[in-house]
Amino acid sequence: ELKVEQNPLFLSMQEGKNYTIYCNYSTTSDRLYWYRQDPGKSLESLFVLLSNGAVKQEGRLMASLDTKARLSTLHITAAVHDLSATYFCAVEGNAGNMLTFGGGTRLMVKP
């Protein structure tokens, strides 16, 4: 059974600071996704990582994947208040198949 764990579950940080969210998963996977969810809203796709060593960046967010360690990271650079949301990683077991989500990391960026 595929298990996905994120940490931390809650993160409060000051604007301008850097931090990393970690996502560990238990079995081999084809793809790993990062989603953002604002309160009361649905999930917004941020990144899809397809291979070992993949790195993608969008604005202040950068995601990476190490398939050997079964680890993905989401790095936040110089955080701003607008990044406050819950971030989920999700792992796809087989192409075209279901996603298994981590528990989410609730990020609060304080001015």
Partner 1 sequence: GAGVSQTPSNKVTEKGKYVELRCDPISGHTALYWYRQSLGQGPEFLIYFQGTGAADDSGLPNDRFFAVRPEGSVSTLKIQRTERGDSAVYLCASSNLDTQYFGPGTRLTVL
Per-residue tokens: 84: 């406050």
Q: Interface with partner 1 by CB under 8 A: which range of 20-28, 34-42, 52-60, 72-80? A: 34-42
**Where in 53-72 is the site for partner 1 (CB under 8 A)?**
none
Interface positions, 4-23, toward partner 1 (CB under 8 A): 4
Who contacts 52 (Cβ-Cβ below 8 Å, separation ≥6)? 65, 66, 67, 68
Q: Does 33 bind partner 1 (CB under 8 A)?
A: yes
Q: Which is nearer to partner 1, 33 or 74 (CB)?
A: 33
Span near partner 1 by CB under 8 A; candidates 12-20, 51-59, 69-77, 93-101: 93-101
Tell me whether the omega of the peptide bond preceding residue 8 falls within 30 degrees of 0, making it cis. Answer: yes
DSSP alpha helix (H) spans, 49-108? none
Half-sphere exposure of residue 58: CA atoms within 13 angstroms, side-chain side: 10
Residues in contact with partner 1 by the rule CB under 8 A = 4, 33, 35, 41-45, 48, 88, 90, 95-104
